[in-house]
Protein backbone atom coordinates (compact mmCIF):
# COMPACT_ATOMS: atom_id res chain seq x y z
CA UNK A 1 0.00 0.00 0.00
CA UNK A 2 1.18 3.56 -0.63
CA UNK A 3 0.46 4.63 2.97
CA UNK A 4 3.22 4.32 5.57
CA UNK A 5 0.65 3.49 8.27
CA UNK A 6 1.09 -0.04 9.66
CA UNK A 7 -0.85 -2.30 12.05
CA UNK A 8 2.19 -4.07 13.48
CA UNK A 9 4.31 -2.88 16.37
CA UNK A 10 7.76 -1.88 15.20
CA UNK A 11 9.27 -3.04 18.49
CA UNK A 12 8.08 -5.27 21.35
CA UNK A 13 10.02 -6.22 24.48
CA UNK A 14 9.24 -8.55 27.36
CA UNK A 15 11.34 -7.55 30.35
CA UNK A 16 11.98 -10.20 33.00
CA UNK A 17 12.97 -8.79 36.38
CA UNK A 18 14.70 -12.02 37.37
CA UNK A 19 18.03 -11.63 35.63
CA UNK A 20 17.11 -8.20 34.21
CA UNK A 21 16.73 -9.63 30.70
CA UNK A 22 15.10 -8.16 27.59
CA UNK A 23 13.56 -10.41 24.97
CA UNK A 24 14.89 -10.33 21.42
CA UNK A 25 12.99 -10.31 18.10
CA UNK A 26 9.65 -10.45 19.97
CA UNK A 27 8.06 -8.08 17.46
CA UNK A 28 8.78 -10.59 14.66
CA UNK A 29 6.86 -13.32 16.46
CA UNK A 30 4.09 -10.84 17.28
CA UNK A 31 3.73 -10.01 13.57
CA UNK A 32 3.50 -13.67 12.61
CA UNK A 33 0.11 -15.37 12.54
CA UNK A 34 1.85 -18.72 12.87
CA UNK A 35 5.26 -19.23 14.40
CA UNK A 36 6.13 -19.74 18.04
CA UNK A 37 4.17 -18.16 20.88
CA UNK A 38 6.13 -15.99 23.32
CA UNK A 39 5.58 -15.64 27.07
CA UNK A 40 4.47 -12.49 28.84
CA UNK A 41 5.20 -11.30 32.38
CA UNK A 42 4.81 -13.47 35.46
CA UNK A 43 6.54 -12.04 38.54
CA UNK A 44 6.34 -8.55 39.99
CA UNK A 45 8.60 -6.24 37.98
CA UNK A 46 8.05 -8.06 34.66
CA UNK A 47 6.73 -5.92 31.79
CA UNK A 48 5.37 -6.18 28.26
CA UNK A 49 6.50 -3.14 26.22
CA UNK A 50 4.66 -2.17 23.02
CA UNK A 51 6.59 0.30 20.88
CA UNK A 52 5.41 2.20 17.81
CA UNK A 53 6.81 4.88 15.50
CA UNK A 54 3.38 6.52 15.48
CA UNK A 55 0.75 6.86 18.20
CA UNK A 56 -1.78 4.07 18.64
CA UNK A 57 -4.95 3.66 20.68
CA UNK A 58 -5.67 -0.09 20.74
CA UNK A 59 -4.15 -3.55 20.42
CA UNK A 60 -5.59 -6.99 19.70
CA UNK A 61 -3.98 -10.04 21.33
CA UNK A 62 -4.17 -13.57 19.92
CA UNK A 63 -3.57 -15.70 23.02
CA UNK A 64 -1.97 -19.16 22.89
CA UNK A 65 -1.95 -19.84 26.64
CA UNK A 66 -4.34 -18.07 29.01
CA UNK A 67 -2.76 -16.06 31.80
CA UNK A 68 -3.97 -16.16 35.41
CA UNK A 69 -3.54 -12.45 36.16
CA UNK A 70 -5.88 -10.80 38.64
CA UNK A 71 -5.58 -7.48 36.82
CA UNK A 72 -3.24 -5.69 34.44
CA UNK A 73 -1.64 -2.30 35.00
CA UNK A 74 -1.10 -0.16 31.89
CA UNK A 75 1.27 2.82 31.67
CA UNK A 76 2.58 5.21 29.02
CA UNK A 77 5.67 7.44 28.92
CA UNK A 78 5.29 11.21 29.39
CA UNK A 79 8.72 11.84 30.86
CA UNK A 80 7.98 9.18 33.48
CA UNK A 81 5.68 6.17 33.55
CA UNK A 82 2.09 7.34 34.06
CA UNK A 83 -0.70 4.86 34.73
CA UNK A 84 -3.77 4.92 32.48
CA UNK A 85 -7.15 3.26 32.90
CA UNK A 86 -7.89 1.21 29.74
CA UNK A 87 -11.32 1.08 28.14
CA UNK A 88 -12.16 -2.63 27.81
CA UNK A 89 -14.53 -2.65 30.80
CA UNK A 90 -16.48 0.25 29.28
CA UNK A 91 -17.74 -2.07 26.54
CA UNK A 92 -19.65 -4.21 29.07
CA UNK A 93 -23.17 -2.87 29.63
CA UNK A 94 -25.09 -5.98 30.70
CA UNK A 95 -26.31 -5.65 34.30
CA UNK A 96 -25.93 -9.43 34.69
CA UNK A 97 -22.20 -9.20 33.99
CA UNK A 98 -19.65 -7.53 36.24
CA UNK A 99 -17.45 -5.22 34.11
CA UNK A 100 -13.87 -6.49 34.02
CA UNK A 101 -10.77 -5.34 32.19
CA UNK A 102 -8.82 -7.45 29.73
CA UNK A 103 -6.33 -9.76 31.46
CA UNK A 104 -4.92 -11.97 28.65
CA UNK A 105 -7.24 -14.80 29.75
CA UNK A 106 -8.36 -15.30 26.12
CA UNK A 107 -8.13 -13.62 22.72
CA UNK A 108 -9.13 -10.03 23.22
CA UNK A 109 -8.78 -6.31 22.77
CA UNK A 110 -7.51 -3.47 24.89
CA UNK A 111 -8.14 0.14 24.05
CA UNK A 112 -6.29 3.14 25.47
CA UNK A 113 -7.76 6.57 26.31
CA UNK A 114 -5.78 8.53 23.72
CA UNK A 115 -7.59 11.75 24.64
CA UNK A 116 -6.06 11.50 28.13
CA UNK A 117 -2.56 10.90 26.74
CA UNK A 118 -1.88 14.30 25.16
CA UNK A 119 1.54 14.43 26.86
CA UNK A 120 2.65 11.07 25.41
CA UNK A 121 6.18 11.39 24.05
CA UNK A 122 8.76 9.04 22.60
CA UNK A 123 11.42 7.48 24.79
CA UNK A 124 14.36 5.07 24.46
CA UNK A 125 13.57 1.65 25.95
CA UNK A 126 15.12 -1.81 25.91
CA UNK A 127 18.39 -3.48 25.09
CA UNK A 128 19.44 -2.36 22.56
CA UNK A 129 17.77 0.94 23.38
CA UNK A 130 15.01 1.86 20.90
CA UNK A 131 13.14 5.17 20.68
CA UNK A 132 9.37 4.76 20.14
CA UNK A 133 6.00 5.68 21.60
CA UNK A 134 5.76 3.13 24.41
CA UNK A 135 2.94 1.57 26.40
CA UNK A 136 3.73 -1.11 28.94
CA UNK A 137 1.72 -3.73 30.83
CA UNK A 138 2.45 -5.47 34.10
CA UNK A 139 0.61 -7.82 36.44
CA UNK A 140 -0.71 -6.32 39.67
CA UNK A 141 -0.31 -9.68 41.41
CA UNK A 142 3.04 -10.56 42.95
CA UNK A 143 3.33 -13.70 40.84
CA UNK A 144 0.85 -15.18 38.39
CA UNK A 145 0.29 -18.92 38.61
CA UNK A 146 0.27 -19.11 34.82
CA UNK A 147 1.86 -16.54 32.54
CA UNK A 148 0.14 -15.88 29.25
CA UNK A 149 1.76 -16.69 25.93
CA UNK A 150 0.90 -14.75 22.78
CA UNK A 151 0.68 -15.84 19.15
CA UNK A 152 0.38 -12.38 17.59
CA UNK A 153 -0.48 -8.75 18.34
CA UNK A 154 -2.18 -6.24 16.04
CA UNK A 155 -2.11 -2.51 16.74
CA UNK A 156 -4.54 0.19 15.69
CA UNK A 157 -2.64 3.39 14.86
CA UNK A 158 -4.57 6.60 15.46
CA UNK A 159 -3.79 7.50 11.83
CA UNK A 160 -4.66 4.25 10.07
CA UNK A 161 -5.45 5.47 6.53
CA UNK A 162 -2.45 7.74 6.08
CA UNK A 163 0.26 9.28 8.25
CA UNK A 164 1.38 12.83 8.86
CA UNK A 165 4.36 12.12 6.63
CA UNK A 166 2.03 11.13 3.78
CA UNK A 167 0.24 14.47 4.07
CA UNK A 168 3.56 16.30 4.39
CA UNK A 169 4.84 14.78 1.14
CA UNK A 170 1.59 15.49 -0.72
CA UNK A 171 1.89 19.17 0.22
CA UNK A 172 5.61 19.18 -0.74
CA UNK A 173 6.46 20.89 2.52
CA UNK A 174 10.10 19.79 2.76
CA UNK A 175 11.42 22.93 1.04
CA UNK A 176 9.38 25.11 3.39
CA UNK A 177 10.07 23.45 6.75
CA UNK A 178 13.47 21.84 6.01
CA UNK A 179 12.21 18.67 7.73
CA UNK A 180 10.94 15.28 6.53
CA UNK A 181 7.66 15.39 8.45
CA UNK A 182 5.54 17.69 10.57
CA UNK A 183 7.09 18.21 14.00
CA UNK A 184 6.26 19.96 17.25
CA UNK A 185 7.91 23.09 15.82
CA UNK A 186 6.20 23.24 12.40
CA UNK A 187 3.05 25.15 11.52
CA UNK A 188 0.82 23.24 11.92
CA UNK A 189 2.30 20.87 14.48
CA UNK A 190 2.40 17.11 14.05
CA UNK A 191 -0.22 16.68 16.80
CA UNK A 192 -2.60 19.04 14.96
CA UNK A 193 -2.20 17.13 11.69
CA UNK A 194 -2.85 13.87 13.56
CA UNK A 195 -6.19 15.32 14.65
CA UNK A 196 -6.98 16.38 11.06
CA UNK A 197 -6.30 12.85 9.81
CA UNK A 198 -8.54 11.32 12.48
CA UNK A 199 -11.34 13.64 11.35
CA UNK A 200 -10.72 12.64 7.74
CA UNK A 201 -10.93 8.97 8.69
CA UNK A 202 -14.29 9.47 10.37
CA UNK A 203 -15.56 11.41 7.34
CA UNK A 204 -14.55 8.58 4.99
CA UNK A 205 -16.20 5.94 7.17
CA UNK A 206 -19.39 7.96 7.48
CA UNK A 207 -19.64 8.65 3.76
CA UNK A 208 -18.64 5.18 2.56
CA UNK A 209 -20.30 3.17 5.36
CA UNK A 210 -17.17 1.03 5.49
CA UNK A 211 -14.24 0.74 7.87
CA UNK A 212 -10.61 -0.16 7.09
CA UNK A 213 -9.24 -0.27 10.64
CA UNK A 214 -9.84 -2.76 13.47
CA UNK A 215 -13.00 -2.10 15.48
CA UNK A 216 -14.03 -3.97 18.62
CA UNK A 217 -17.71 -4.92 18.81
CA UNK A 218 -18.90 -6.27 22.17
CA UNK A 219 -22.26 -7.48 23.44
CA UNK A 220 -24.05 -7.48 20.11
CA UNK A 221 -27.37 -9.23 20.81
CA UNK A 222 -29.19 -11.69 18.54
CA UNK A 223 -32.08 -14.10 18.77
CA UNK A 224 -31.05 -17.75 18.92
CA UNK A 225 -31.54 -19.21 15.45
CA UNK A 226 -30.68 -22.75 14.41
CA UNK A 227 -29.96 -21.49 10.90
CA UNK A 228 -27.33 -19.09 12.19
CA UNK A 229 -26.99 -15.36 12.73
CA UNK A 230 -25.58 -12.49 10.69
CA UNK A 231 -23.67 -9.88 12.72
CA UNK A 232 -24.56 -6.24 12.20
CA UNK A 233 -21.05 -5.36 11.04
CA UNK A 234 -19.51 -6.92 7.96
CA UNK A 235 -15.87 -7.75 7.31
CA UNK A 236 -15.31 -9.62 10.58
CA UNK A 237 -11.62 -10.20 11.18
CA UNK A 238 -11.93 -12.37 14.28
CA UNK A 239 -14.85 -13.89 16.17
CA UNK A 240 -13.92 -13.61 19.84
CA UNK A 241 -16.89 -14.90 21.81
CA UNK A 242 -20.42 -16.28 21.42
CA UNK A 243 -22.43 -16.60 24.64
CA UNK A 244 -25.96 -17.94 25.21
CA UNK A 245 -28.30 -16.93 28.03
CA UNK A 246 -29.32 -20.08 29.89
CA UNK A 247 -31.95 -18.44 32.07
CA UNK A 248 -29.59 -17.84 34.98
CA UNK A 249 -26.41 -16.62 33.33
CA UNK A 250 -24.34 -16.28 30.18
CA UNK A 251 -22.64 -19.45 28.96
CA UNK A 252 -19.72 -18.94 26.59
CA UNK A 253 -19.60 -21.46 23.76
CA UNK A 254 -16.42 -23.06 22.42
CA UNK A 255 -15.48 -21.67 19.01
CA UNK A 256 -14.65 -24.02 16.15
CA UNK A 257 -16.43 -26.00 13.45
CA UNK A 258 -15.92 -29.21 15.44
CA UNK A 259 -17.05 -27.55 18.67
CA UNK A 260 -20.11 -25.36 19.39
CA UNK A 261 -20.11 -22.44 16.97
CA UNK A 262 -18.17 -21.21 13.95
CA UNK A 263 -17.99 -18.27 11.55
CA UNK A 264 -18.10 -18.44 7.74
CA UNK A 265 -16.22 -15.42 6.29
CA UNK A 266 -17.67 -15.81 2.78
CA UNK A 267 -21.27 -15.45 3.95
CA UNK A 268 -20.67 -13.41 7.09
CA UNK A 269 -22.78 -15.90 9.08
CA UNK A 270 -22.26 -17.38 12.53
CA UNK A 271 -23.49 -21.00 12.70
CA UNK A 272 -24.06 -23.42 15.55
CA UNK A 273 -22.26 -26.71 15.07
CA UNK A 274 -24.65 -28.73 17.21
CA UNK A 275 -27.82 -28.51 19.24
CA UNK A 276 -27.89 -27.50 22.89
CA UNK A 277 -29.82 -28.99 25.78
CA UNK A 278 -31.85 -25.97 26.79
CA UNK A 279 -35.49 -25.56 27.89
CA UNK A 280 -37.81 -26.98 25.25
CA UNK A 281 -39.76 -24.77 22.90
CA UNK A 282 -43.40 -24.44 23.78
CA UNK A 283 -46.59 -22.72 22.61
CA UNK A 284 -49.42 -21.73 24.90
CA UNK A 285 -52.85 -20.73 23.60
CA UNK A 286 -54.84 -21.53 26.76
CA UNK A 287 -54.49 -18.23 28.57
CA UNK A 288 -55.84 -14.82 27.75
CA UNK A 289 -52.53 -14.11 26.07
CA UNK A 290 -50.54 -16.39 23.79
CA UNK A 291 -46.85 -16.59 23.22
CA UNK A 292 -44.47 -18.60 21.12
CA UNK A 293 -40.76 -19.23 20.73
CA UNK A 294 -39.93 -19.59 24.41
CA UNK A 295 -37.14 -21.77 25.71
CA UNK A 296 -34.31 -22.93 23.48
CA UNK A 297 -35.37 -21.19 20.28
CA UNK A 298 -35.75 -17.81 21.96
CA UNK A 299 -32.58 -17.85 24.02
CA UNK A 300 -30.74 -14.56 23.55
CA UNK A 301 -27.23 -14.73 22.15
CA UNK A 302 -24.51 -12.11 22.37
CA UNK A 303 -21.39 -12.01 20.27
CA UNK A 304 -18.09 -10.14 20.42
CA UNK A 305 -15.73 -9.75 17.48
CA UNK A 306 -13.17 -7.62 15.69
CA UNK A 307 -14.47 -6.07 12.47
CA UNK A 308 -13.06 -3.81 9.77
CA UNK A 309 -11.45 -4.46 6.43
CA UNK A 310 -7.75 -5.21 6.30
CA UNK A 311 -6.15 -2.16 4.67
CA UNK A 312 -3.24 -4.23 3.36
CA UNK A 313 -5.45 -6.91 1.80
CA UNK A 314 -7.85 -4.64 -0.08
CA UNK A 315 -6.11 -3.69 -3.35
CA UNK A 316 -9.35 -2.47 -4.94
CA UNK A 317 -10.30 0.25 -2.45
CA UNK A 318 -7.42 0.84 -0.03
CA UNK A 319 -5.56 3.12 -2.43
CA UNK A 320 -8.62 5.34 -2.77
CA UNK A 321 -9.05 5.44 1.02
CA UNK A 322 -5.42 6.48 1.43
CA UNK A 323 -5.68 9.21 -1.20
CA UNK A 324 -8.95 10.58 0.18
CA UNK A 325 -7.61 10.71 3.74
CA UNK A 326 -4.43 12.60 2.90
CA UNK A 327 -6.23 15.06 0.63
CA UNK A 328 -8.94 15.81 3.20
CA UNK A 329 -6.26 16.42 5.85
CA UNK A 330 -4.16 18.56 3.49
CA UNK A 331 -7.18 20.69 2.54
CA UNK A 332 -7.94 21.26 6.21
CA UNK A 333 -4.35 22.34 6.83
CA UNK A 334 -4.49 24.92 4.05
CA UNK A 335 -7.76 26.34 5.33
CA UNK A 336 -6.58 26.43 8.94
CA UNK A 337 -2.87 27.35 8.87
CA UNK A 338 -1.33 30.64 7.81
CA UNK A 339 1.40 30.06 5.21
CA UNK A 340 1.13 33.47 3.62
CA UNK A 341 -0.47 33.73 0.20
CA UNK A 342 1.27 31.13 -1.91
CA UNK A 343 3.32 28.01 -1.14
CA UNK A 344 6.42 27.03 -3.07
CA UNK A 345 7.87 23.69 -3.99
CA UNK A 346 5.55 22.44 -6.72
CA UNK A 347 2.55 24.53 -5.77
CA UNK A 348 4.04 27.95 -6.52
CA UNK A 349 1.74 28.55 -9.49
CA UNK A 350 -1.45 27.58 -7.73
CA UNK A 351 -3.08 29.56 -4.97
CA UNK A 352 -3.43 27.44 -1.85
CA UNK A 353 -7.17 28.04 -1.56
CA UNK A 354 -7.61 26.64 -5.07
CA UNK A 355 -5.48 23.64 -4.21
CA UNK A 356 -7.58 22.99 -1.08
CA UNK A 357 -10.80 23.13 -3.11
CA UNK A 358 -9.32 20.78 -5.70
CA UNK A 359 -8.26 18.23 -3.07
CA UNK A 360 -11.67 18.41 -1.37
CA UNK A 361 -13.47 17.73 -4.65
CA UNK A 362 -11.14 14.85 -5.47
CA UNK A 363 -11.70 13.35 -2.01
CA UNK A 364 -15.49 13.71 -2.41
CA UNK A 365 -15.31 11.87 -5.72
CA UNK A 366 -13.26 9.06 -4.16
CA UNK A 367 -15.72 8.68 -1.28
CA UNK A 368 -18.62 8.46 -3.73
CA UNK A 369 -16.82 5.65 -5.53
CA UNK A 370 -16.12 3.85 -2.25
CA UNK A 371 -19.78 3.90 -1.37
CA UNK A 372 -20.76 2.77 -4.88
CA UNK A 373 -18.85 -0.47 -4.32
CA UNK A 374 -21.14 -1.37 -1.42
CA UNK A 375 -23.06 -4.62 -1.92
CA UNK A 376 -26.46 -4.93 -0.24
Tens digits of residue pLDDT in 2-26 = 566 788 999 999 999 998 999 999 9
By residue count, the chain amounts to 376
pLDDT tens column, 25-66: 999 999 988 778 999 998 889 999 999 999 999 999 999 999
Could you tell me the maximum CA-CA distance found in the chain, to the nearest angstrom? 84
Residue 209: count other Cβ atoms within 10 Å of its Cβ.
10
The mean per-residue pLDDT over the stretch 73-94 comes to 90
Instruction: Name the residue with higher pLDDT: 81 or 175.
Output: 81
Mapping DSSP to helix (H, G, I), strand (E, B) and coil, where does residue 193 land? helix
For the domain made up of 11-157, the CATH class stated in words is mainly beta
Residue 88 has pLDDT above 50, yes or no: yes
Would you state the pLDDT for residue 3? 63
Predicted confidence at residue 352, as pLDDT, reads: 75
Instruction: Tell whether the model's pLDDT for residue 234 goes beyond 90.
Output: no
Give, as one character, the DSSP assignment of residue 107. S
CA–CA dist 285, 131 (Å, integer): 71
State the first-to-last Cα distance of the chain, in angstroms, to the nearest integer: 27
Distance between CA atoms of residues 116 and 133, nearest Å? 15
Identity of the highest mean pLDDT range in 34-48, 117-131, 167-181: 117-131
CB 217 within 8 A of CB 93: no
Q: What would the pLDDT profile of 255-301 be if each residue is shown by its tens digit?
A: 988 888 999 988 889 998 865 544 444 444 343 433 444 544 566 89
Burial 162-182 (b: 16+ CB within 10 A, else e): bbbbbbbebbebeebbeeebb
Which of 49, 308, 307 has the alpha carbon at shortest distance from 153?
Answer: 49
Tell me the average pLDDT of the chain: 86
**Res 36: pLDDT:** 87
H or E element that contains 53: none
Q: Where in the sequence of the chain do the CATH 2.60.120 domains occur?
A: 11-157
Render 231-247 in DSSP notation, one character per residue: -SSSSEEEEEEEEEE-S
pLDDT digits (tens, 9 = 90+) for 181-204: 999 999 899 999 999 999 999 999
pLDDT at 308 over 60: yes
How many other CB atoms sit within 10 Å of the CB of residue 303? 23
| Mean pLDDT computed over 88-109 | 84
Residue 110: cis peptide before it, omega within 30 degrees of 0: no
Amino acid sequence: MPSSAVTVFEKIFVYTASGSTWSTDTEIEAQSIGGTAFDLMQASGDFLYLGSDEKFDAAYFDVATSGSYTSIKWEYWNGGWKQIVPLSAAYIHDVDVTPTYYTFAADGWEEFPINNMSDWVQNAIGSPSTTKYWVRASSTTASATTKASINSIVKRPINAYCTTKDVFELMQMAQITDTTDFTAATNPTKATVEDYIQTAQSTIEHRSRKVWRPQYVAEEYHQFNLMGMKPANQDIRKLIDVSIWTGSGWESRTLGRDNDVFFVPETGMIHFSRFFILPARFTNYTGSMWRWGGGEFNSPVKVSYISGRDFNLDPREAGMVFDAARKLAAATIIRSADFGGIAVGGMDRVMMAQRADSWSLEADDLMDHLRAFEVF
